[in-house]
Amino acid sequence: MPTLLMLHGYRFYFYSHETGEPPHVHVEHQGKSAKFWLRENTCARSRGYSPVELRRIGRIIANHRDDFQRKWNEYFNSDT
């Protein structure tokens, strides 16, 4: 599980075996978790986060999306 970013207690990462899905990141913080699609910056699923927290996570992803996408492409050797 490569960690992409640790910020404000949130850990952003992806699983190394997820080549069959579009680029996305997982987020965890204090036992809560979520999955966000990078292209649309939309939440695919969430467990435990409030709407306010999901908006905050979405803003963080928007600010780091290019870096997350680059790391995804490098790791999976892809251009998606």
**What mean pLDDT comes out for the span 52-79?**
94
**What mean pLDDT comes out for the span 52-62?**
98
77 alpha carbon, distance to own chain's centre: 18
Rounded to 5°, the CA angle 63-1-21 comes to 70
Helix (H, G, I), strand (E, B) or coil at 7: strand
Amino acid at 55: R
**What mean pLDDT comes out for the span 40-56?**
98
Counting residues of the chain whose pLDDT is more than 70, the rounded percentage is: 98
The domain spans of the chain are 3-76
Q: Say whether pLDDT at 80 is over 70.
A: no
Higher pLDDT, 5 or 79: 5
- Supply 76's token pair: 């999976």
